[in-house]
Structure 1
Amino acid sequence: MRIGQVAQEAGVSVDTVRFYERRGVLPAAERRPSGYRVFSATTVERIRTAKTLQELGFTLDEVVDALTAHDQGGATCDSERWRLQAVVDRLDARIAELTRARQAAAETLSDCRAGHCRLTFTPTSPLPG
């Protein structure tokens, strides 16, 4: 398969296919004498798997590591469960952080509505941040 066909069937851009190849998500494609990349039919499913893992919260490096473990033949649900647990733990920490930030913003908004704004802005001072 040529790169455009892989991209279309996987629902990504040609640039994404190239990026995934550079980052190791995809093995290096064979090249024709003309220089065109030629991908196997399994490339589409590998891209879909990578996208699914990213949607679950895996970083690209984690995707590469998980796919490498799979390629080496010993990956099972039991042996790889820790990867998903690490993602869940990271998401829980991020949710807790966002919850704290939201609570602080909501309290500040409530104070402002009550006429007790904790933030002061003057035309000559830059905004905080």
Structure 2
Amino acid sequence: MKIGQVAAEADVTVDTVRFYERRGVLPPPERRPSGYREYTPAAVERIRMARALQQLGFTLDEIIDALRAHDGGETTGADHLWRLESVVDRIDARIADLRRTRRSVIDTLTECRTGRCRFQPTGRC
């Protein structure tokens, strides 16, 4: 299967397939005598798994780690839970940061609406 076919079936770009290969998400494919890459259907499934993990919030390094553990048969239910809990913790931290930013923006809006503005040298909006 050529790289374009893999990309189409996995619903990604050819550049994404090459990127995944460079980063180790995909193992290096066999090469045809012409030098073209020759992928197996397993490459499509691996890309789909990587994309599913990405949609769950996994970083690229976490995706690579999870796929390697899966390849080696080293994963357990506890491993999956730990990885997912790690993603939830990261999301919670992001939510907390966004709440702080939101509060700051609301405070600035309130200041501007009352005629005080920290962005103007005169202190007035």
TM-score bucket (shorter structure): over 0.9
1:43 is matched with 43
Cα deviation digits, residues 35-64 of structure 1 (max 9, x gap)? 010111011111111111111111101100
Alignment of 1:26-65 (within 5 A): 26-65=26-65
Q: Give the counterpart letter for 1:72 in structure 2.
A: G
- Alpha-carbon shift at residue 113 of structure 1 (Å): 1.1
1:115 is matched with 115
Name the TM-score, length of structure 2 as normaliser: 0.92
73 and 113 in structure 1: CA distance in 2 versus 1, 3 angstrom threshold = same
Q: Give the counterpart letter for 2:96 in structure 1.
A: A
Name the TM-score, length of structure 1 as normaliser: 0.89
Cα deviation digits, residues 92-111 of structure 1 (max 9, x gap)? 11110111011111111111
- Alpha-carbon shift at residue 76 of structure 1 (Å): 2.6
Q: Give the counterpart letter for 2:27 in structure 1.
A: P
Is there any run of 5+ residues in structure 1 with no aligned partner, and where?
123-129
Residue range with higher mean Cα deviation, 78-87 or 96-105 = 78-87
